[in-house]
Amino acid sequence: MSQFSLHSLGRFLIIFGGLIIVLGIVLSLGGKIPYLGNLPGDIHIKRETFSFHFPVVTCIILSIILTVIINLIYRR
């Protein structure tokens, strides 16, 4: 069985806090980042009484970037 370690908990909290800070910055500057949510491949459907937007490509690109960052942090 694995033993509880304060060192690993502290590291987790620091990384989680950093991710929260980065997320807050991205959300506050989201409208100022060009093409964020408006990339080719993002789904935009507008009808008379209905509007739907799903940023598929933006989500994929952000997922790839976050995966690379997390892998660099946890590289041993």
Dihedral, CA of residue 37, residue 57, residue 23 and residue 30, to nearest 10:
-10
> Whole domain around residue 1: which residue ranges?
1-33
d(CA 10, CA 14): 6
Question: pTM value?
Answer: 0.55
Q: Are residues 5 and 29 in the same domain?
A: yes
Q: Are residues 69 and 41 in the same domain?
A: yes
Residue 1 has pLDDT above 50, yes or no: no
Tens of pLDDT, residues 12-69: 888 889 889 988 887 787 667 677 777 888 888 999 999 998 888 888 988 998 899 8
Q: Are residues 20 and 45 in the same domain?
A: no
Q: Are residues 41 and 75 in the same domain?
A: yes
pLDDT of residue 64: 93
pLDDT of residue 3: 62
Q: Are residues 29 and 51 in the same domain?
A: no
Q: Are residues 28 and 56 in the same domain?
A: no
Q: Are residues 11 and 42 in the same domain?
A: no
